Amino acid sequence: MLASEIREMSEADINSRIAELERERFNLRLASGTRTLDDPLRLRVIRRDVARLKTVLREKVIGVAEVGSGSRERRSEKRVAARVTGRRGRKSATAMNRKKTSKRA
């Protein structure tokens, strides 16, 4: 299920689809405890569809418009910041800063 398809649905349709998928997910989880599932990846697909539905529903509730192409720069800045937060990211960030400020190089 694509997000563009979900955005065309009404809030009531989205809520009913979420309930339907949650019911199916519950039944599959119960069945997985007693037997081998025919399609075990269906659990993952259902979980992601529910998350997608809830995200679009939340966007509709708070009135968020669809993201335009101008946000690409902001996303890349966030990605760079996320890389620097880890231990290796900090080390490489400080090494890069040393290279920039070093008088020897």
Domain locations along the chain: 3-66, 70-101
What contacts 17, CB < 8 A, 6 or more positions away? Answer: 9, 53
> Looking at residues 88-98, what average pLDDT do you find?
58
Task: Give the residue with greater pLDDT, 20 vs 87.
Answer: 20
pLDDT tens per residue, range 41-81: 999 999 999 999 999 999 998 887 665 544 555 555 555 54
To the nearest 10°, the Cα dihedral for 13, 19, 20, 26? 170
Task: Give the residue with greater pLDDT, 34 vs 63.
Answer: 34
Residue 57: its pLDDT value, please?
93
> Looking at residues 6-35, what average pLDDT do you find?
95
CATH C-level class of 3-66: mainly alpha
